[in-house]
Amino acid sequence: MNEALKSLRDYQQILHRVAELERLMSFVPEDVRSLETEWQSMEARMAELKTRQEEQLATQKTQMLALEEATDKSKKFERDLNDVTNSKEYNAVIKEIDAIRKRLSGLNEDISQRMVELEDIETNTAECEQLAAESKSKYDEALAAFRATQSEIQTELNQRISERDQMKAEIPAALMKQFQRIADRRNGIGLALCVKSVCSACNVHIRQNVVEKIRHNNKVIQCDSCQRILYFEEEVLTT
């Protein structure tokens, strides 16, 4: 068998292995991706809770100021009550006092409602933090395990790439150019095995005199049908 074609055959096999390894390297398994999604959704939930907490705290601050203001007013009206000189004034101050008491009671209710909500947020945040930590550690673990399998792939990939480059140097430039041109148009397969007078790539019958040429000549012969370079192996024919 033509040594250059044999090298080309090995080269083509390496190309396929490199492509396969590159595909594996770019792949992240579904279980790892779903753990990542789970962890990210926990993080998003925490961020949402933090925003709600900030909103509630800001409202609480405003309400506390309003309460302070209303308390001052209430004290003032109580003092005013001592200074009234007639029943008309008395009734007017009593009316103010009633109004401010209603306001104070409403504010106190709002403030305690806020406190209940803030406590609720705190409880949810604590639960979420724990769940986020758990899903993060699950994700980290799965990712580390996956990276470990990838490191084996990466090692093999580096090795295959260097083998590929070394092999490339062994193949005559003209043959390589011809192979590359065909491979580019034919799914990366530029070389096809001739098995029992059939091109193994396109399954088209090869005439016996051509088979003999492939077998004995050192010339490069292409398949009439798919144009791939044909090569022949004795051991394949006997099995």
Interface contacts to Zn ion, rule CB under 5 A: 199, 201-202, 223, 225-226
Cβ proximity to Zn ion: between 104 and 193 the closer is 193
Residue 202: CB minimum distance to Zn ion, A: 3
Cβ proximity to Zn ion: between 75 and 205 the closer is 205
Residue 176: CB minimum distance to Zn ion, A: 20
SS3 annotation, the chain:
CCHHHHHHHHHHHHHHHHHHHHHHHHCCCHHHHHHHHHHHHHHHHHHHHHHHHHHHHHHHHHHHHHHHHHHHHHHHHHHHHHHCCCHHHHHHHHHHHHHHHHHHHHHHHHHHHHHHHHHHHHHHHHHHHHHHHHHHHHHHHHHHHHHHHHHHHHHHHHHHHHHHHHHHHHCCHHHHHHHHHHHHHCCCCCEEEEECCEECCCCCECCHHHHHHHHHCCCCCECCCCCCEEEECHHHHHC
Cβ proximity to Zn ion: between 101 and 196 the closer is 196
Cβ proximity to Zn ion: between 67 and 202 the closer is 202
Residue 195: CB minimum distance to Zn ion, A: 11
Residue 228: CB minimum distance to Zn ion, A: 5
